[in-house]
Amino acid sequence: MADAVIAPTVRIVLADDHELVRSGISALLSLLPGVDVVGEARDGAELVGLLELVGTDIVMSDIGMPGMDGLEAIARIQQAHPEVRTIVLSMDDSAAAARSAFAAGATGYIVKQAATAELEAAITAVMAGRRYVSPSLAPQLLLPATNSPQAQLTERQMEILVCIASGQSSRAIGTQLGLSSKTVDAHRARIMERLGIFDIAGLTRYAVRHRLVR
């Protein structure tokens, strides 16, 4: 374990829709000196509500959660609790996902494939007022952003865009991807916002132009 100094009584709230993942991360954090996991949430809405009841220094959250996803939750947390640092823990190792997280207000981004030592490094960095990003992802963030769909949308948003462009309804997309129709609608709104396209026909043309569908 690194010799980084972590301030005592660093309180952390975890958010992930997979209980085994939360349990695993909580167990790893319990090994760090001066770190206390004070709460856990299964989705963004539960996370936002939990912060009204539990004081915390850091939120560690996935971004791909059902209902209110991590990005929306982070944005709301930054508005209501600007003093709270947020670290994203995600399987998505794309620069686009990291940029979206930082744009929402995150102060750290760790890919779940990372070494466990990164948890301590990230906590130390954000508590010192610095940003943290997994070293494996950092080189991608140094490259200029592009206009490709992969650079602007998360993996889940790409899936939903393809389904929308294929003519599927929100209910059908939700059934296929294991999401509620409300969650699909929320993703569609964020896709439109990111692409600056505000109708289904426009999204379809965009998908065809970028060869996502035929």
Mind listing the pLDDT tens digit for each residue in 148-201? Answer: 676 678 888 889 999 999 999 999 999 999 999 999 999 999 888 888 888 898
pLDDT of residue 58: 97
Residue 6 predicted with pLDDT over 60: no
pLDDT of residue 148: 67
Mean pLDDT of the chain: 87
Chain position carrying tokens 């294929």: 166
Residue 70 predicted with pLDDT over 60: yes
Residues 6+ apart with CB under 8 A from 26: 14, 37, 40
User: In the chain, what are the domain boundaries?
Assistant: 10-141, 149-209
Strands (E), 91-212: 108-111, 132-133
pLDDT of residue 39: 96
Which H or E element spans position 29?
helix 19-30
pLDDT of residue 112: 87
With residues binned 3-state (H G I as helix, E B as strand, rest as coil), the percentages for the chain, rounded to 5, are 50, 15, 40
Mind listing the pLDDT tens digit for each residue in 127-141? Answer: 999 999 999 888 877
Confidence of residue 147 (pLDDT cuts 50, 70, 90): low
Q: β-strand 35-41 against 85-90: which pairing, if any?
A: unpaired
Task: Give me 52's structure tokens.
Answer: 């009204």
149-209 has which CATH code?
Answer: 1.10.10.10
Distances (CA, A) of 113 to 20, 107, 164: 15, 19, 30
pLDDT of residue 42: 93
Q: How far apart are CA 30 and CA 3, in angstroms?
A: 16
CA quadruple 132, 64, 67, 146: dihedral positive or negative? positive
> According to the CATH classification, is domain 10-141 in 3.40.50.2300?
yes
pLDDT of residue 206: 85
Residue 2 predicted with pLDDT over 60: no
Domains 10-141 and 149-209 agree in fold: no
Q: Give the residue from 136, 213, 110 showing the smallest Cα distance to 168.
A: 213
